């Protein structure tokens, strides 16, 4: 069962356009990470957001954690072909024993056309 | 540190054969995760370890799957009597024990069952 739903599933845009990817869940997470994955490789961590309402920027990428810590968004400004890849959100759950787990979203495949 | 390494990168096996994959985590990381990923989807959680203890197993992990981390360092994932549906990318990740999990992934082992 996927706890996290991402939208859109596929996105193809022209170089220079802006875009937003959404990650939604009915579950509350202690933190949420965004990863980018290239074909044939493992996911690479981009950012971690922890506090409800938190906004983090990484060059042209802006990440926001929802106030209730159930959802997140990734906004890319002036997309470039190098941004092409599979974007994954992942939520960390915190169990009473202190151990936690990491569940991934369904992924958004972004293609930026030169 | 060379990061998380997985071996082999690719494995082709005949249906019914057993296969074993190895993961070497980042040396100071005491948490280790196994995920399975099919084409175009986000990684699906299989199991995770804290040191040598296997703390959680997904219902996806049938009786044919077993994972070990005997000394709390490297881990192995074995699939017995492989089926065509087992064909996927098997990803290993490691992290430090902390509330806000940030996982670092290996490059994965791509399994093809013919």
Q: Which of A7-21, A50-64, B47-61 has the lowest mean pLDDT?
A: B47-61
pLDDT at A98 over 70: no
Nearest to B5 by CA among B102, B75, B76, B107: B107
Q: Is A5 exposed, middle or buried (0-12, 13-18, 19+ CB in 10 A)?
A: middle
pLDDT band for position A71 (50/70/90)?
very high
What percent of chain B shows pLDDT beyond 70? 95
Count Cβ–Cβ pairs < 8 Å, chain A vs chain B.
Answer: 71
Query: pLDDT of A4-16, one tens digit each?
Result: 999 999 999 999 9
Contact B103 A90 (CB under 8 A): yes
With CA atoms as reference, the chain B residue closest to A86 would be: B40
pLDDT for A101 equals: 77
CA atoms of B67 and A106, how far apart (whole Å): 24
With CA atoms as reference, the chain B residue closest to A106 would be: B42
pLDDT for B10 equals: 97
C-alpha torsion angle, residues A71, A66, A38, B23 (rounded to 10): -80
User: Across all residues in chain A, what is the average pLDDT?
Assistant: 90
CB B32 within 8 A of CB B97: no
pLDDT for B39 equals: 86
């Amino acid at each position: 069962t996927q706890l996290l739903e991402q939208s859109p599933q596929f996105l193809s845009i022209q170089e220079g356009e802006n875009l937003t990817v959404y990650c939604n869940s009915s579950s509350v997470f202690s933190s949420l990470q965004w990863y980018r994955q290239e074909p044939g490789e493992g996911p690479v961590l981009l950012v971690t957001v922890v506090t409800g309402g938190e906004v983090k920027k990484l060059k042209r990428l802006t990440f926001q954690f929802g106030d209730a810590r159930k959802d997140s968004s990734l906004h890319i400004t002036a997309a470039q072909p190098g941004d092409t890849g599979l974007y994954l959100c992942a939520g960390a759950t915190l169990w009473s024993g202190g151990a936690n787990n990491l569940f991934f979203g369904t992924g958004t495949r972004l293609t930026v056309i030169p | 540190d060379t990061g998380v390494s997985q071996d082999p990168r690719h494995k082709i096996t005949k249906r019914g054969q057993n296969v074993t994959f190895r993961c070497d985590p980042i040396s100071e990381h005491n948490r280790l995760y196994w995920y399975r990923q099919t084409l175009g989807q986000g990684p699906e959680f299989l199991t995770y370890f804290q040191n040598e203890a296997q703390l959680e197993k997904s219902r996806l992990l049938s009786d044919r799957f077993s994972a070990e981390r005997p000394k709390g360092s490297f881990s192995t994932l074995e699939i017995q009597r492989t089926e065509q549906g087992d064909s996927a990318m098997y990803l290993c990740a490691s992290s430090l024990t902390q509330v806000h999990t940030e996982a670092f992934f290996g490059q994965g082992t791509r399994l093809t069952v013919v």
